[in-house]
Amino acid sequence: MDWSKIPDILAIVSLSCAFSSILRRSRTPAHRLWLLGWTMIGIHFVGSMIMGDPGPLGLAGSIIGVTSLAAAGICFMWATVPTENGVSCRRMAIVVFLTVSLYIVLASLGHPPGWAFDLSAVGIAVGPLSVGIVYRKNAQHSLRWLTVGLQFALGAELLVLRRQTGSPELGVDAILFVIYLGCCIYFWYSHNAGTTGSIITIGGFFVWALVFVLGPAQEHYLPGLHIESEVWNLPKYVVAIGMLMLLLEKQIERSQYLALHDDLTDLANRRLFQDRLTGALERARRSGSSVALLQIDLDGFKNVNDTYGHHMGDLLLQYVAGILQARVRRSDTVARTGGDEFCVILEEAGRREAATSVAATLEKILSEPVTLAGQRLRIGASIGVAIFPEDAKDSEELCIEADVRMYSSKQERKEDTRIPRNGLREAQSISR
């Protein structure tokens, strides 16, 4: 038993715990596959401890060690596919794993007949292709066809290698090289932002793939040169560091996003709204154009919360956010500035009538009944419109003017007996 693998096992366990700790709050299917991949690396080291033992135990260690290493690479590739939860993607990963594992088992057994290796190589080439053809009508990512191409080329290469060298070990090295080269390509495709974490991860996978080329080359051309196994294992830890940095970079990016956006509706929050408004006014001053600010307050929202609970209130806020975003241009800004308050910045608004028309359209839409979670609700909205530079000369004055006009509109709506009392009359009649 090779006790020198104990430090590697402890290191992988520590890395897995670090991954698990970082992913505890924001674990996605892709991240779970990362964690599964590193678990497979830990199993690989456990298998490596006993693969040198004579008899069945050593054979089992060899099979477990190499197949788990292949499984780890497949998990890492699978994690980069946007549809990793799809049935076709799962079946593609299973077919790839089973076909390469069959070849690895045959290579570990010693001297199986040549036709068994050829049949296994054909399975490696044809299996993923068959999955791709069967699910060709599904929406498939281009990486799926890259998998098909890599595995087909690998199967052909295995057929050639067996006839030219007769060494099944070279076939296993070829399998692992293709798998980890695929990891490099997949991560380059999906993490090409140029961040430190992505560069380290992509480079680590590339060097990891080269290990399965340089190792056999060193044994063949420089048999007297002894390289410690720890040197060949270094790319694993480079990739681990890169992945940890990717996770931390994503968490920092998410924290920065949440600092400027409302978590419930994904709209701009008050801080980002003020920044956008200041920028819009500056651009309007330079170009001589106008900016319209719409201050929106929902009527009857508190009673919806009190009657149906905060869950219904959250659904209603999300619904309103979607309505507002759908009715303005991409260049405009929609923000949630309070509990049931929203603001819309219309740049290059033109004449006042145009902004007033937008406000009237929004009021009409928001006053229409809506069914959420099986409950039919009917609220309303009071909207105040202020125009820069006609109504105010800076952002503070513009917000005050829009707020005043919004409250004036709300007072007029309260006096209008046509508005359902507390915004809930229709919902309550239905619930009866």
Per-residue DSSP letters for 52-77?
Answer: TSSSHHHHHHHHHHHHHHHHHHHHHH
Taking alpha carbons only, the member of 115, 117, 126, 133 closest to residue 152 is: 126
Q: What pLDDT does 176 receive?
A: 96
Residue 232's Cβ-count burial label (10 Å; 0-12, 13-18, 19+) is middle
Long-range contacts: 116-119, Cβ < 8 Å, 24+?
117/158, 117/162, 117/168, 117/171, 118/159, 118/162
Q: How far are the Cα atoms of 305, 312, 382 from residue 374, in angstroms, in the given order?
A: 15, 10, 26
Reading the block at residue 91, the tokens are: 């079946």
**How would you write the pLDDT of the chain (432 residues) with one tens digit per residue?**
777 778 888 888 888 888 777 777 666 788 888 989 999 999 999 988 888 778 888 889 999 999 999 999 999 998 887 655 567 788 889 999 999 999 999 998 877 888 999 999 999 999 999 988 888 776 566 778 888 999 999 999 999 988 888 788 899 999 999 999 999 999 998 887 788 999 999 999 999 999 999 999 998 888 888 888 788 889 999 999 999 899 888 888 888 998 999 999 999 999 999 999 999 999 999 999 999 999 999 988 888 888 888 899 999 999 999 999 999 998 899 999 998 999 999 998 888 899 999 999 999 999 899 888 888 888 889 999 999 999 999 999 999 999 999 999 888 877 664 544 444 434 333 333
Tell me the C-alpha distance between 242 and 247, whole Å: 9
CA distance 427 to 383: 23
Tokens of 197: 């974490």
Question: What was the pLDDT predicted at 429?
Answer: 36
Q: How is residue 5 written in tokens?
A: 């693998």
Identify the pLDDT of residue 85: 58
pLDDT score of 185: 93
